[in-house]
A = this chain, B = another copy of it.
């Protein structure tokens, strides 16, 4: 969201923060204006209605997400293994959300409602997400790397494992005393996901530890900070 001007970004950030505390309907445009420290009229000027503002947050989040996922899926695996590619993609999904953790929490929660906007986002973005994730598994399967025929439910589980920390940051903070935007948490979390994934793969020429190290190094070099 770096391309947006400061005022617009401040409005978007304030809106998302208030929506996460009070819910969308429980938040007024006045609340948002106060928390963004801008004149209420600017919100109408830039975004129109509160509903349009929510739409911008949701489509902004999912638009960037699908773009990031498309890039990750199109990439050739460094080591020649699809397992490696899968791990790096998983890491990038975690980091993408980590950098937009308030928006991620809001977006994932809104997607559990039954509205016209939700149905539109599903057919526009989540259909594409499902296709992209299934694609990486089918590559791995065709290359003979995976031991189990990947099923749709397997894709669903990967998606949800990568979603959950950002849907429930507060639960994780209160009950596990972990911060989802903490690099240590992300490392530990990825490592359990990688372990889960690795159990479905044939033992490859390169060991799990090596693959994991390579994947993480590669991402770390490109994007050191999580903010």
Of A21, A114, A151, A154, chain B has the most CB atoms within 10 Å of the CB of: A114
Interface contact A170-B118, CB-CB below 8 Å: yes
* Complex Cα gap A148–B171 (Å): 25
Contact partner of A109 (CB less than 8 A), chosen from B20, B109, B122, B126, is B109
**Which residue of the partner chain B has the closest CB to A188?**
B153
When distances are taken between beta carbons in the complex, the residues of chain B under 8 Å from A167 are: 112, 167
* Complex Cα gap A122–B170 (Å): 10
Pairs A–B under 8 Å by Cβ, sample size 27? A20-B112, A20-B114, A21-B113, A21-B114, A21-B115, A23-B25, A108-B112, A109-B112, A109-B113, A111-B171, A112-B168, A118-B170, A122-B170, A123-B174, A126-B171, A126-B175, A151-B188, A151-B192, A152-B176, A153-B176, A156-B164, A156-B172, A156-B176, A157-B192, A157-B196, A164-B164, A196-B199
Interface majority SS (helix, strand, loop, mixed), chain A:
helix
- Interface residues in A156-172 (C-beta closer than 8 Å to B): 156-157, 160-161, 164, 167-168, 170-172
Interface contact A192-B154, CB-CB below 8 Å: yes
- Interface residues in A178-209 (C-beta closer than 8 Å to B): 188-189, 192, 195-196, 199
* Complex Cα gap A189–B154 (Å): 9
- Interface residues in A4-54 (C-beta closer than 8 Å to B): 20-26
Is A76 positioned at the interface, with any CB of B under 8 Å from its CB?
no
In angstroms, how far is the closest chain B Cβ from the Cβ of A21?
A: 5
Contact partner of A113 (CB less than 8 A), chosen from B20, B118, B154, B172, is B20
